[in-house]
């Protein structure tokens, strides 16, 4: 009982290609999979046939026969610009490796994270996963990953796992440097807005701030350190509280641009002249950074590049050998300081 092949739909099978090239299907398979042991001339013939017939190997069949899926999963908790930039980079790299990316939301706060992740991994037979923060640090997620025995790359994890590669940026150093810029301009009372708890970025950015302050023998006024959770609205309240302190801070360092924009907004509502009476620094170089006036001094993350590197790491995993290359790869991508109009020398009278 031979089912009729849908005409037009799909392309030739490997047998047709084999016929055209005058070899066996297995040899075509060898060529497709880039295996060694095919004479150059044969390979050429096969390649030509593939081109002529515009042959596309059937993923499902390859997967079934070879016990693979050619799929890697990208899991996120929060949609947004970061995600879409990241995935664009990751997809680019995947295409080069003939893999495909499944992008899936996963609620970090849900009690079912683990189960959901596990279902997806097993249903799709994922060959690897990439975890965006804060997913990489959830114990439930780690448990599943450990059991699943597939390569996982963590993006900016709070606590790097011994056996899992990670990609991150040196947020701490960047904030340290930018804080130093403020100090150098004479600022001494500097407010700091924290991000969302559970993110590496939140911790590292604060540490960078603390580094710079302590390096200059300055103490940090606890009143001037507030959690804005990466949100504009909360940043607004933080800023108001900070700006209500006496003496007023002359600068505010926000852990992301949304909150920095909030600081600008709050200051404006209090009729402060920016940047003369208040300097503001953000992080991310988000679109809003150039939409507020004065434009935000901030830090640019190479998000697309991070995505690309993450996908690249996945393909470095050796399934049937020892797993990850040793030492387990950790990639630290450079950040770029972006100095714009939102910082100025501290006012004299403060």
Partner DNA sequence: AGTCAAAATGTCAGCGCTGTCAATCAGCCT
Partner DNA sequence: AGGCTGATTGACAGCGCTGACATTTTGACT
Q: Which of 8, 34, 39, 219 binds DNA (CB under 7 A)?
A: 39
Are the C-beta atoms of residues 120 and 73 closer than 8 Å to each other? yes
Give the closest residue to 227 by CA, choosing from 198, 269, 251: 198
Our finding on whether 323 is near a copy of itself (CB under 8 A) is no
205 binds, among a copy of itself, DNA, none (CB under 5 to 8 A by kind): none
Our finding on whether 8 is near DNA (CB under 7 A) is no
Number of helices (H) and strands (E) in the chain: give both, helices first.
12, 12
| Residue number, 18 or 212, with CB nearest to DNA | 18
Our finding on whether 25 is near DNA (CB under 7 A) is yes
| Residue number, 23 or 278, with CB nearest to DNA | 23
Are the C-beta atoms of residues 260 and 281 closer than 8 Å to each other? yes
* Residue 26 beta carbon to DNA: minimum distance, rounded to whole angstroms: 3
* Residue 329 beta carbon to DNA: minimum distance, rounded to whole angstroms: 25
Our finding on whether 126 is near DNA (CB under 7 A) is no
Are the C-beta atoms of residues 337 and 200 closer than 8 Å to each other? no
d(CA 312, CA 310): 5
Our finding on whether 348 is near DNA (CB under 7 A) is no
Q: Which residues contact 302 (CB under 8 A, 6 or more apart)?
A: 169, 333, 334, 335, 336
Strands 100-105 and 128-131: unpaired
Please list every residue from 54 through 93 that binds DNA, using CB under 7 A. 57-58, 61-62, 64-67
Residue 155 has phi, psi (to 5 degrees) of -95, 125
Q: Which of 16, 91, 158, 270 binds a copy of itself (CB under 8 A)?
A: 91
Check the CA dihedral 297-298-304-306 and report its sign. Answer: positive
Residue 318 has phi, psi (to 5 degrees) of -105, 95
* Residue 61 beta carbon to DNA: minimum distance, rounded to whole angstroms: 3
Tokens 């899992």: give the residue. 164
Site string for a copy of itself, 260-289 (x = CB under 8 A): -xx--x--xx-----------------xx-
Our finding on whether 61 is near a copy of itself (CB under 8 A) is yes
Residues that bind DNA (CB under 7 A): 1-3, 5, 10, 13-15, 22-30, 32-33, 36-39, 41-43, 57-58, 61-62, 64-67
């Amino acid at each position: 009982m031979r089912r009729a092949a849908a005409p037009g739909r799909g392309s030739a099978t490997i047998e047709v290609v084999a016929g055209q090239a005058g070899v066996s299907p297995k040899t075509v398979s060898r060529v497709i999979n880039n295996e060694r042991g095919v004479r150059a001339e044969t390979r050429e013939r096969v390649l030509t046939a593939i081109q002529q017939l515009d042959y596309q190997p059937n993923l499902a069949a390859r997967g079934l026969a070879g016990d693979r899926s050619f799929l890697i999963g990208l899991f996120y908790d929060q949609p947004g610009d970061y995600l879409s930039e990241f995935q664009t980079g990751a997809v680019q790299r995947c295409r080069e490796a003939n893999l495909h990316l499944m992008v899936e939301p996963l609620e970090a706060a849900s009690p079912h994270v683990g189960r959901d992740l596990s279902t997806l991994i097993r249903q799709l037979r994922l060959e690897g996963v990439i975890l965006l923060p804060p997913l990489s640090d959830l114990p439930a997620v780690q448990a599943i990953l450990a059991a699943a025995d597939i390569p996982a790359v963590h993006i900016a994890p709070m606590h790097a796992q011994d056996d899992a590669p990670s990609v991150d940026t040196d947020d701490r150093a960047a904030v340290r440097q930018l804080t130093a810029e403020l100090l150098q301009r004479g600022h001494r009372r500097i407010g700091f807005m924290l991000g969302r708890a559970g993110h590496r970025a939140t911790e590292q950015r604060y540490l960078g701030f603390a580094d710079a302050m302590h390096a200059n023998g300055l103490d940090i006024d606890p009143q001037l350190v507030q959690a804005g959770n990466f949100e504009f609205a909360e940043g607004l309240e933080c800023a108001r509280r900070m700006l209500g302190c006496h003496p007023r801070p002359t600068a505010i360092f926000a852990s992301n641009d949304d909150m920095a924009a909030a600081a600008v907004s709050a200051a404006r509502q209090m009729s402060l002249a920016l940047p003369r009476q208040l300097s503001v620094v953000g992080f991310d170089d988000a679109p809003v950074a150039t939409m507020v006036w004065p434009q935000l001094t901030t830090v640019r993350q190479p998000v697309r590049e991070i995505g690309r590197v993450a996908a690249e790491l996945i393909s470095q995993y050796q399934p049937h050998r020892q797993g990850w290359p040793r030492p387990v790869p950790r990639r630290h991508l450079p950040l770029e300081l972006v100095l714009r109009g939102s910082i100025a020398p501290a006012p004299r009278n403060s």
